[in-house]
Structure 1
Amino acid sequence: MNNIKQFLFAIYIDLALSRQEHVLAGDTTTKDVIVPKISDWQVTVANGLITTENLFVHCKSKEDDLGEQNLRYGDRFSWNFGENMLHSTLFWCYMSKDDVHMNVKVFWDDVILFHRCGWKNCVWTAKNDGIYLWNSATGEDMLMEKWEVGW
């Protein structure tokens, strides 16, 4: 019986990976029906530094390198993605300005983070004392991590 389940699961995965997408109703595609998206997310990193400093940002996940960004004051860098079925999606960013830097997780599977992000959009803002997450539940920025001195 176990072999039958494994065989059917293998066929399911093969169909999911090889199937052409066809739009069904609205934005739903056949691929979404076969391998449903757990949820759609957007992460934004913004330069909110009071000075005229540029913010260097390099964000990654295990599968994706989103490249290096140099953000001027007020600039934003955003990306969209669907959380994977294993709930193991993780994005982190290296950020630096002048002689301070940090490595910070900007998305991971956590109900508290999801609540703060309003279940769809995590907005991180670099300020002079550290990185802040916009808490949509309370309507205010929360200091999440302070800058580390040096390189």
Structure 2
Amino acid sequence: MSNIKQFFLAIYISLVLTCQDRVVARSATMRDIIGPKISNWQVMVVNGLATSETLFIHCKSKEDDLGEHNLRLGDRFSWNFGENMLHSTLFWCYLSKDDGHMNVQVFWDDVILFHRCGWKKCVWTAKTDGLYLWNFANGQDLLLEKWEAGW
């Protein structure tokens, strides 16, 4: 076998071996083999509203709709996924409460976000004044988005 064929075979095998699932329940696709996942992440959204309101959330990416969820005070919704090699993984959520709503990105390729998330887990908490990201780097919640009035 020529060196070029061995080289391409080695690349193909390494791509197949590094392939990971999209969201926990899904199996690998051809896109995963071509652009394998390079890191594992978890995103969590927590209802921390002080008024015991129900928090409605609907999260998705380009490929995955994670469904609609109603969270009571203290409830959380989370999912695991692998970021793709092209660094184009993006998740966003629509959140609403009795007197406000927002559309917000909860995961995107950004070294500052990765640092705040401790390079593995982004924890978002909905509070009365907005959506906070837990900053693992300094151990504090950071307000990143305020509620918009109405629905």
TM (normalized to structure 2)?
0.78
1:28 corresponding residue in structure 2: none
Contact kept in structure 2, 1:100 and 1:147, CA below 8 Å: yes
SS in 1 for 2:73: coil
Amino acid at match of 1:103: N
Amino acid at match of 2:70: N
Contact kept in structure 2, 1:46 and 1:124, CA below 8 Å: yes
SS in 2 for 1:62: coil
Contact kept in structure 1, 2:38 and 2:83, CA below 8 Å: yes
1:65 corresponding residue in structure 2: 65
User: Offset at 1:39?
Assistant: 0.5
2:77 corresponding residue in structure 1: 77
User: Offset at 1:137?
Assistant: 0.3
Moved more, 32-41 or 126-135: 32-41
Cα-Cα RMSD? 2.8
Q: Distance in 2 between matches of 1:56 and 1:99?
A: 12
Report how many residues are paired.
131
User: Offset at 1:150?
Assistant: 1.6
Contact kept in structure 2, 1:40 and 1:80, CA below 8 Å: yes
1:31-68 superposed Cα distances (whole Å, 9 cap, x missing partner): x9997531100000000000110000000000000000
Q: Distance in 2 between matches of 1:34 and 1:109?
A: 19
Q: Distance in 1 between matches of 2:139 and 2:92?
A: 23
Percentage of identical aligned residues: 79
1:42 corresponding residue in structure 2: 42
Contact kept in structure 2, 1:41 and 1:83, CA below 8 Å: yes
1:141 corresponding residue in structure 2: 141
Q: Distance in 2 between matches of 1:108 and 1:36?
A: 17
1:121 corresponding residue in structure 2: 121
In structure 1, list runs of 5 or more residues that go unmatched: 20-31
2:88 corresponding residue in structure 1: 88
Contact kept in structure 2, 1:16 and 1:35, CA below 8 Å: no
Contact kept in structure 2, 1:93 and 1:105, CA below 8 Å: yes
2:53 corresponding residue in structure 1: 53
TM (normalized to structure 1)?
0.78
1:29 corresponding residue in structure 2: none
